[in-house]
Structure 1
Amino acid sequence: MNLLERLTFFIQNNGLFEANDKILLTVSGGRDSMLMTFLLTKAGYKVAIAHCNFQLRGTESDLDESLVRSFAEEHGIPFYVKHFETTQIALERGISIQMAARELRYNWFEQLRIAIGYDKIAIAHHLNDHIETVLLNLLRGTGLQGLQGIQLKRDKLIRPLLFLKAEEVLRYVQEYQIPYRDDQSNFSTKYARNKVRIDIIPQFKKMQPDFESIFEQNIIHFKESYTLLQQFINPIRQSLFRKEYDEWTVEKAELNLYIHDLPLLYELFSTFGFTKNVLADLQSCWDKESGRLFQSECYDLLLDRDFLIIREKEYKQQDETVITSETKSVSWRNACFTCDYSVDLSIVKDKQIAKIDADLLIFPLTLRSWKTGDFFYPLGMTGRKKLSDLFTNYKVNIFEKENVPILVNGNGDIIWVVNYQLDDRYKISSNTKKVFILVCK
Structure 2
Amino acid sequence: MDRIVSKVRDFIIRHALIEQGDRVLLSLSAGKDSMLMFHILNLLRQELGFMMGVFHLNHQTRGAESDRDEEHLIRLAREHDFPIHIERYDFSANRIRGLSFEEHARAVRYERAEKISAGHGYNKIATAHTRNDHIETILMRIFTGTGIYGLRGIQARRDKIIRPLLALTSDEVYGYLTGLNISWLEDSSNTAISYPRNFIRHNLLPLARTRFSAADESIQSLSELAGDALLVLEELITQQYPSLYEFSDGDLYIEAGVLMRSEPLFSYAVTAGMRKYFNYHANRKMIGEIYAKYRTRRANIKLYRDNAIRADKVYATGRSRLKISEALPLGPDPAEWEYCIDVRDFHGARLCLEEIGISVAVEIVDYAYFEKFVKNNGYIFISMEKNIKSLYIRNRRKGDRMRTEQGMKKIKDLLIEKKLDNDRKERVPLLVADSEVIACMPGLLFDIPNRVSVDFLVDKNAGKVLSVCKN
| Structure label with greater radius of gyration | 1
The corresponding residue for 1:72 is 77
CA spacing shift, 1:339–1:155, aligned 2, 3 Å: closer
CA drift at 1:311: 1.6
Counterpart of 2:148, as a letter, is: L
Is structure 2 residue 6 aligned with structure 1 residue 5?
yes
**Residue 59 (1) aligns with residue 64 (2):** yes
Contact 1:87-1:97 within 8 A present in 2 as well: no
Structure 2 letter corresponding to 1:312: E
CA distance in 2, matches of 1:82, 1:101: 12
1:206-233 deviation per Cα after TM superposition (whole angstroms, max 9, x unaligned): 2333433343233222211111111112
Answering whether residue 342 of structure 2 is matched by residue 314 of structure 1, we say no
CA contact (8 A) 2:130 2:167 kept: yes
Tell me how far apart the structure 2 counterparts of residues 399 and 304 of structure 1 sit (CA, whole Å): 17
Aligned residues: 352
Per the alignment, residue 27 of structure 1 pairs with 28
Secondary structure of 2:193's counterpart equals: coil
- Compute the RMSD of aligned alpha carbons: 3.8
Identify unmatched segments of 5+ residues in structure 2: 275-280, 341-387, 431-471
Find out whether 1:278 has 2:278 as its counterpart. Answer: no
Partner of 2:135: 131
Pairing 1:1-400 to 2, within 5 Å after superposition: 2-45=3-46, 46-91=51-96, 95-235=99-239, 239-250=243-254, 254-271=255-272, 272=274, 273-286=281-294, 287=296, 291-295=301-305, 298-304=308-314, 306-314=320-328, 337-338=401-402, 399=423
Question: Which one-letter code corresponds to 1:70 in the other structure?
Answer: R
| Contact 1:274–1:295, Cα closer than 8 Å, also in 2 | no
More displaced 10-residue stretch of structure 1: 397-406 or 131-140: 397-406
Contact 1:275/1:296 (<8 A) preserved: no
Equivalent residue number for residue 383 of structure 1:
none
* CA shift in 2, pair 1:173/1:196, >3 Å: same
Change in CA separation of 1:196 and 1:296 when aligned onto 2, cut-off 3 Å = farther
Q: Structure 1 residues 237, 89: closer, same or farther in 2, change over 3 A?
A: farther
Alpha-carbon distance change, 321 to 53 in structure 1, aligned in 2, over 3 angstroms: closer
Instruction: Please give the alpha-carbon distance, in whole angstroms, between the structure 2 residues aligned to 1:114 and 1:339.
Output: 33
Quote the offset at 1:9 in angstroms. Answer: 1.2
2:4/2:172 contact within 8 Å kept: no
- For the 8 Å contact 1:128–1:166, the answer to whether it is kept is yes
- 1:294 maps to amino acid: Y
Give the C-alpha shift of residue 312 in structure 1.
2.4
Q: Partner of 2:41: helix, strand, or coil? A: helix
Give the Å deviation of 1:303.
3.6
One-letter amino acid matched to 2:39: F
Give the 3-state SS of the residue equivalent to 1:86 in structure 2.
coil
Q: Deviations over 1:77-111 (max 9, x none)?
A: 322211113333334x7644433322222122122
Residue 116 of structure 1 and its aligned partner are, at CA, apart by: 2.4
Secondary structure class of the residue paired with 1:41: helix
Q: Contact 2:31–2:187 at 8 Å: present in 1 too?
A: yes
CA distance in 2, matches of 1:236, 1:197: 42
Q: How far did 1:285 drift?
A: 2.5
What's the secondary structure of 1:77's corresponding residue? coil
Which amino acid letter does the alignment assign opposite residue 184 of structure 2?
Y
Q: Distance in 1 between matches of 2:163 and 2:420?
A: 45
SS in structure 2 of the partner of residue 182 of structure 1: coil
1:51-93 deviations in Å (ceiling 9; x for gaps):
11121221111111112122222333322211113333334x7
Name the SS of the counterpart of 1:338 in structure 2.
strand
In the TM superposition, residue 337 of structure 1 has moved relative to its aligned partner by 4.0
TM-score between both structures, scaled by the size of structure 1: 0.69
SS of aligned partner of 1:199 = helix
The Cα of 1:130 is off from its aligned counterpart by 0.8
Return the alpha-carbon distance in structure 2 between the equivalents of residues 53 and 399 of structure 1: 35
Task: Mark the CA change 1:339 to 1:295 in structure 2 (over 3 Å): closer, same or farther.
Answer: closer
Write the distance in 2 (CA, Å) between the matches of 1:214 and 1:283: 34
1:147/1:295 CA distance change after superposition, 3 Å: farther
Structure 2 counterpart of 1:373:
none
For 1:199 and 1:303, the matched residues in 2 are separated by: 46
Which shifted more, 25-34 or 278-287? 278-287
2-side partners of 1:295 and 1:203: how far apart? 40
Cα distance 1:338–1:236, how it changes in 2: closer, same or farther (>3 A)?
farther
TM-score (norm 2): 0.65
Deviations 1:392-418 (A, max 9, x none): xxx996656646999xxxxxxxxxxxx
Change in Cα spacing, 1:404 to 1:225, as seen in structure 2 (3 Å) is closer
- State the distance in 2 between where 1:55 and 1:236 align: 51
SS of the residue aligned with 2:76?
A: helix
2:138 and 2:150 in contact (8 A); partners too: yes
Structure 1 stretch displaced more, 68-77 or 104-113: 68-77
Deviation of residue 284 (structure 1)?
2.7
**Contact 2:130–2:169 (8 Å) recurs in 1:** yes
Report how far residue 19 of structure 1 moved. 4.0
Superposition map of 1:421-436 within 5 A: none
* Cα separation, 2, equivalents of 1:332 and 1:237: 45
Structure 1 unmatched ranges of 5 or more? 341-349, 355-366, 370-390, 407-441
Q: How far apart are the structure 2 equivalents of 1:331 and 1:189?
A: 39
CA distance in 1, matches of 2:241, 2:422: 25
Contact 2:12–2:18 (8 Å) recurs in 1: yes
Query: Which amino acid counterpart does residue 247 of structure 1 have in structure 2?
Result: D
